[in-house]
Amino acid sequence: MSAGFTYHGGRLSAACARFGGEPADWLDLSTGINPRSWHPGADVVVDWRALPDPDALASLEYAAAAFFGCDPALCAAVPGSETGLRQLGQSLALPGLHQPLAYGTYRAAFAQAESIQNLAQLPQRASVLVVGNPNNPDGRILSHDRLLALLDHQEQQGGWLIVDEAFADCDPGWSILGKVDAGRRLIVLRSFGKFFGLAGLRLGFLIAPPKVLADLRQGLGDWPIHAAALAFATPAYRDMPWITGTRRCLGASAAALDDVLKRHRLSFKGDCPLFRLIVGQNAGGLFQALAARQILTRPFSGHPDLLRIGLPANAAALQRLDMALSEVGGHG
């Protein structure tokens, strides 16, 4: 019954078709997207009549690079980090490596892909290792030293390390993008939509050596980013009061979610405040029980003991989850 919901979150129309109700009836906790999004001011205007302006793209990349703390020459905007990863899979033209519990596109982006159980036992051949930091869905954080050791191994083999930092805006201390330069085989992905809560803009960034970015830009064409993303994201990356306040609020909201999960004796893991991964024998049953109460979470194919729960938007949403867990006994 949950098979159609195991690849990506956010399939609210499918949930309505399967379990009933209208979209407005549902509490969607199936994604790792900030439920309290950044909102543009009245001075942010989108001109839908004109083609996206190259100068506006340059301004966006400069603002993003300043926020990330990297050289703008190493930063390129892409229409979603998922699209950027698929482009890299084609341009790098090497087999891909990923861990079993990871974002599905890590596998789909490469013509040849292999799951690696143990990062300490990487193959002695050229490949592209993709790791999430924080990892989705378990929220695991790898230290800088661990990531640099992985990079050294990949470089010795003539391969690459791609670090997907889609959720790293929550804590800048997690990021390794400061280590990207022209002479290293390191690429970092960043996502605008997760932290800023505007996933529909489909905007991400690659921080990579200039040659990689040149190949990427050629593949994406002359207008890679649409006008709304250019208009919204540039001031968003410069809005440091909102960014600082959001980091603080996300941490407090995640702590409140943790308290609810603990009260219902649910085991969970994850350091990223935007989601928690429930670990339990009947996690699949919990998905079904919550869906019957029009609360959408995220199950995983081949992992019936796992269920990801995104951050509720407010106290009312958290209370609704709390009440539903009380009704189902936390175990479906």
Q: Residue range 292-318: average pLDDT?
A: 93
- Mean pLDDT for the chain overall: 93
pTM for this entry: 0.94
Does any domain span residue 177?
A: yes
Final residue belonging to a domain, choices 238, 265, 281: 238
Residue 113 sits in the same domain as residue 88:
yes
My answer on whether 222 and 165 are in the same domain is: yes
- Tell me phi and psi for residue 80, to 5 degrees: 105, 135
Give the count of domains, the chain.
Answer: 2
The answer to whether residue 283 scores a pLDDT higher than 90 is no
Q: How confident is the model at residue 318 (pLDDT cuts 50, 70, 90)?
A: very high
pLDDT in tens, 52-93: 999 999 999 999 999 999 999 999 999 999 999 999 999 999
Residue 43 lies in a domain: no
**In this model, does residue 194 exceed pLDDT 80?**
yes
Cα 331 to Cα 235, 257, 300, 301, 306: the distances in Å are 44, 17, 16, 18, 12
pLDDT tens digits for 249-266?
A: 999 999 999 999 999 999
Same domain, 30 and 122: no
Q: How confident is the model at residue 1 (pLDDT cuts 50, 70, 90)?
A: very low
The span from the CA of 237 to the CA of 169, in Å, is 11
User: Maximum Cα–Cα distance for the chain, whole Å?
Assistant: 57
Domain extent, residue 19, equals 3-37+241-328
